[in-house]
Structure 1
Amino acid sequence: MSSSPHLPVPWLRSLTGALLIAASTAGLAAPPEAPAAQTLRATHQRLSDKLDHNSFGRPVQIDSVETADGLQGDVYAVVDHPLSEISGTLKGSAHWCDVLNLHINNRRCTVASGPQGRDMLTLYVVRRYDKPIDQAFELPFVYRVVSASPEHLSVELTAESGPLGTSNYRVRLEALALDEHKSFLHFSYSYDHNAMVRLGTMAYLATFGSDKVGFTVVGKTPEGQPDYIRGLRGLVERNAMRYFLTLDAYLAAPGTDQADRRQRRWFAAAEQYPRQLHEVDLDTYLALKREDRQRDGVATR
């Protein structure tokens, strides 16, 4: 009968302990992600090919839908910012007015404490960039952090009522950590409108606004160029993209003394899509924003 070699007792004890530790941890996995984070990660995987191959010149995808009562636009993008940086900048209402005011039609934004201690952001929006501030309509948003973790952030702004028969405004930002340097963003913008507003908007888009298009390609023109979606979905796609670009510009220059840099970055980004987003020249845009800051007593930089 053959004999087996004897292992030294200390070595045997170490081996036994290591085996016990391995056995006890073999069935353990990393803490599961919350459902919202799982959903966003699945969306990133589903859109990976569109994010890598598109006409935007960057990993961006935009979708739109006419809901039962209104419109919704969604922008998805991979950005070169870690989630910790995004959360530090946007997890809190303090900077959101600076973000939203980059939009050309937003002329003022204020922050106050609302009922039950909730943060309230009131946005003053003009129908056209050249309309005076006293013709702006007010959108009183309730700001809240839906969820926040080292892997996922969800922030939401909601307004129950809006102007001219619109209601249930909802602005939502989700961010998912992809690695130490990149994050996946989902920006959603939606609102409801009554039948009269819908018909009036459609009439405008069919006449004076007939040249306005969105980003979704629905075919080709007779000249072989992309034929972009028009009408209500084109409208919400343009606005969703403008708002996404405000976030992108602010993340690139988040400091309190970076207003001019952010404005120039937002304008340059919008001008990359002139067919959809061009409105004015740079000097006109900067003059409007300078006027807004001076009117509200904010020092220009």
Structure 2
Amino acid sequence: MHLLKRPPRTRATGLLLLLLLCLAMPPAWAQVPSPDAMRAQFAALREKGTGELVNSSVYLRSTESADRMQGEVHAVIDEPFEQVRQELARADRWCDVLILHINVKYCRATRTAAGEQLVSGVGRKFDQPLSEVYWVRFGFKVAADRSDHLLVELRAPSGPLATRDYRIVVEVVPHTGGQSLVRMTYSYGFGTAARWAMKTYLATLGRGKSGFTVVGQSADGQPIRVDGVRGVVERNTLRYYLALQSRLQSHDAPRTAQLQQSLQRWFSATERYAEQLHEMERADYVAMKLKELKRQDTTAPPPPG
């Protein structure tokens, strides 16, 4: 009696099916770290002064690998943890944050079969019709929501300028004196198409702009700051963080005044870093954003596709 052997093509077919299944599965969300790990990171940054921007309370750093860019802000904010938690654990509140960024032209929170989603339109630093923006669909997930720890992740499979695996992650824990400790991470992956798109941007609209990290010193003793793609990442990371900070600082105002206050606060905060972040005058920024806010309230987002 002969034992039947499994044909090689059957085994190969099984491996192919397994591979296709893995490719079809959604990417894993961020693992939930310990709140103490975040506190230890902030203490280390404060001790070394690495990336310090404001009086031992805001630190910015960035990393670049072969296929991924990441910026990270660690900061202490003068807002109680419970208030921050109530605001950031809600998807609709995040559109009030994202729309403050000068490049975000639209944001609407929606609910799908897969969960909550933020539909965001990203464009240029001036008034633009929605037909010209790049649509980013962020999945919204609250990975940790406890009395001592909040972790929220926004993740999209693709982003502007041919980027992929686009993420904004915010972690918050209580700090001393009724304050909160915040870490915001902004990152994306990229390939050949994204490299070429970014190269074109840096040769035109992004020419002459720098980030914040000091990478050297000029002959006259002036600091030389990082430029290129890392400079872009650092500028956008800080813009998103300042949007978060400005929105949280405006929570006590009546709902109708919150966004107005947030706009004013965001512009004032970015002007502290005018060398890197200034793009337009205050009146022009506010007028543009008020128009965009009205448009997003009256215009439905495009269907997935």
Q: TM-score range with shorter-chain normalisation?
A: 0.7 to 0.9
| AA partner of residue 283 (structure 1) | A
Q: CA deviation at 1:111?
A: 1.1
The one of 240, 252, 256 aligned to 2:237:
240
Q: CA deviation at 1:166?
A: 1.5
Q: CA deviation at 1:203?
A: 4.6
Equivalence for 2:88: 90
| AA partner of residue 291 (structure 2) | E
The one of 211, 217, 233 aligned to 2:214:
217
Q: Distance in 2 between matches of 1:277 and 1:252?
A: 20
- Superposition CA RMSD, Å: 2.0
Q: Is the 8 A contact 1:126 1:132 kept in 2?
A: no
Q: CA deviation at 1:39?
A: 1.4
Residue deviations 1:174-225 (CA, integer Å, cap 9, x gap): 0111224111110000111111321341354255533110010112223322
Q: Is the 8 A contact 1:51 1:60 kept in 2?
A: no
Summarize the Cα distance change of 1:81–1:287 in structure 2 as closer, same or farther, 3 Å threshold: same
1:261 equivalent in alignment to 2:258: no
Q: CA deviation at 1:128?
A: 3.2
Equivalence for 2:295: 295
| AA partner of residue 178 (structure 1) | H
Q: Distance in 1 between matches of 2:193 and 2:202?
A: 14
Q: How does 1:184-223 map to 2 (within 5 A)?
A: 184-206=181-203, 208-223=205-220
Q: CA deviation at 1:163?
A: 4.1
Summarize the Cα distance change of 1:228–1:208 in structure 2 as closer, same or farther, 3 Å threshold: same
Q: CA deviation at 1:79?
A: 0.9
Q: Distance in 2 between matches of 1:151 and 1:242?
A: 26
**Which runs of structure 1 show a deviation greater than 4 angstroms over 4 or more consecutive aligned residues?**
50-53
Summarize the Cα distance change of 1:62–1:278 in structure 2 as closer, same or farther, 3 Å threshold: same
Summarize the Cα distance change of 1:192–1:291 in structure 2 as closer, same or farther, 3 Å threshold: same
1:148 equivalent in alignment to 2:148: no
The one of 228, 233, 237 aligned to 1:231:
228
Q: CA deviation at 1:290?
A: 1.4
Equivalence for 1:168: 165
Summarize the Cα distance change of 1:35–1:278 in structure 2 as closer, same or farther, 3 Å threshold: closer
Q: Is the 8 A contact 2:46 2:56 kept in 1?
A: no
Summarize the Cα distance change of 1:55–1:39 in structure 2 as closer, same or farther, 3 Å threshold: closer
Equivalence for 1:44: 42
Q: Is the 8 A contact 1:52 1:59 kept in 2?
A: no
Larger Cα Rg: Structure 1 or Structure 2?
1
Q: Is the 8 A contact 2:168 2:185 kept in 1?
A: yes
Q: Distance in 2 between matches of 1:113 and 1:157?
A: 14
Summarize the Cα distance change of 1:189–1:93 in structure 2 as closer, same or farther, 3 Å threshold: same
Q: Is the 8 A contact 1:120 1:142 kept in 2?
A: yes
Equivalence for 2:131: 134
| AA partner of residue 164 (structure 2) | S
Q: Secondary structure at the match of 1:103?
A: coil
Q: CA deviation at 1:57?
A: 4.5
| AA partner of residue 63 (structure 1) | R
Q: CA deviation at 1:240?
A: 0.2
Q: Distance in 2 between matches of 1:83 and 1:52?
A: 25
Q: Secondary structure at the match of 2:34?
A: helix
Q: Is the 8 A contact 2:51 2:59 kept in 1?
A: no
Q: Distance in 1 between matches of 2:161 and 2:227?
A: 22
TM-score for both structures, normalised by structure 2:
0.81
Q: Distance in 2 between matches of 1:72 and 1:52?
A: 16
Q: How does 1:22-33 map to 2 (within 5 A)?
A: none
Summarize the Cα distance change of 1:53–1:219 in structure 2 as closer, same or farther, 3 Å threshold: closer
Summarize the Cα distance change of 1:127–1:193 in structure 2 as closer, same or farther, 3 Å threshold: farther
Summarize the Cα distance change of 1:188–1:100 in structure 2 as closer, same or farther, 3 Å threshold: same
Identity of aligned residues (%): 36
Note the residue ranges of structure 1 that are not aligned, 5 or more in a row.
1-33
Q: Is the 8 A contact 1:51 1:59 kept in 2?
A: no
Note the residue ranges of structure 2 that are not aligned, 5 or more in a row.
1-31, 299-305
Residue deviations 1:19-40 (CA, integer Å, cap 9, x gap): xxxxxxxxxxxxxxx8421211
TM-score for both structures, normalised by structure 1:
0.82
